[in-house]
Amino acid sequence: MFKDLVKKSRSYRSFQPGKTLSLEVLRELCDTARFAPAATNLQPLKYRLVYKEEERKNLLALTYWAGSLGIKLPPDGHEPAGYIVICHDTSLSVEKPIFLMDVGIAAQTMMLAAAERRLGGCMLGAFKPEDVSACLGLPEGLNPKLILAFGTPDETVVLTEVKDRVKYYRDEHNVHYVPKRSLDEIIL
């Protein structure tokens, strides 16, 4: 059931060591996203694939993971196997807020495609675009909007229903809990 895939596709912040991610798989995720809807069908998004060890290490250092938990994520040795950096190509269109919707649609499409392959990952919006551009040698006009990290998940994430808080939390076994609002609460 499609809903099960959506529920399985959580934000994972620890990945199995030694599991590589081929360039072909990253390309396949992009090949799925390119069929997604796009505002006025301008399709200004471009994708920078990051899979080589040195580049992965440098990019990771520019990202922030669940800072409010106060623990090191991903843990040492459990880093993502690859990344897709979603960029806006200003040679195709000026940046407008509506294209951020394209970014979200493309991102979730890739996360679901990854989940179908038993991969997992995390969307990362907390980074300084200029630092990521410099790190990856992105040419002028290709502006990073969102980073997707991928790997084989190595942690347990549990969906719960919102009671008193929406903030995610962990228990003493490092199980990660994500409260979601109930259906009755979100339907107007």
Ligand X SMILES: Cc1cc2nc3c(=O)[nH]c(=O)nc-3n(C[C@H](O)[C@H](O)[C@H](O)COP(=O)(O)O)c2cc1C
For ligand X, the binding residues (CB under 6 A) are: 10-11, 64-66, 122-126, 157, 168, 178
Q: Which residue has the tokens 């609460």?
A: 185
Shortest Å, Cβ 24 to ligand X: 26
CB-nearer residue toward ligand X: 36 or 178? 178
| Amino acid (1-letter code) at residue 8 | K
Q: Specify the residue, 6 or 23, whose C-beta has the smaller distance to ligand X.
A: 6
Considering beta carbons, is residue 10 or 88 the nearer one to ligand X?
10
Q: How far is the CB of 44 from ligand X (least distance, A)?
A: 18
Our CB check for ligand X shows the closer of 51 and 155 to be 155
Nearest-approach distance from CB 159 to ligand X, in angstroms: 7
Contacts of 142 by beta carbon, 8 Å cutoff, 6+ apart: 46, 48, 87, 88, 89, 90, 133
Minimum gap (Å) between residue 107 Cβ and ligand X: 7
Query: Which of residues 22 and 116 has its CB atom nearest to ligand X in the complex?
Result: 116
**Hey, which residues does 15 pair with through a beta bridge?**
153
Smallest gap from residue 161 Cβ to ligand X (A)? 13
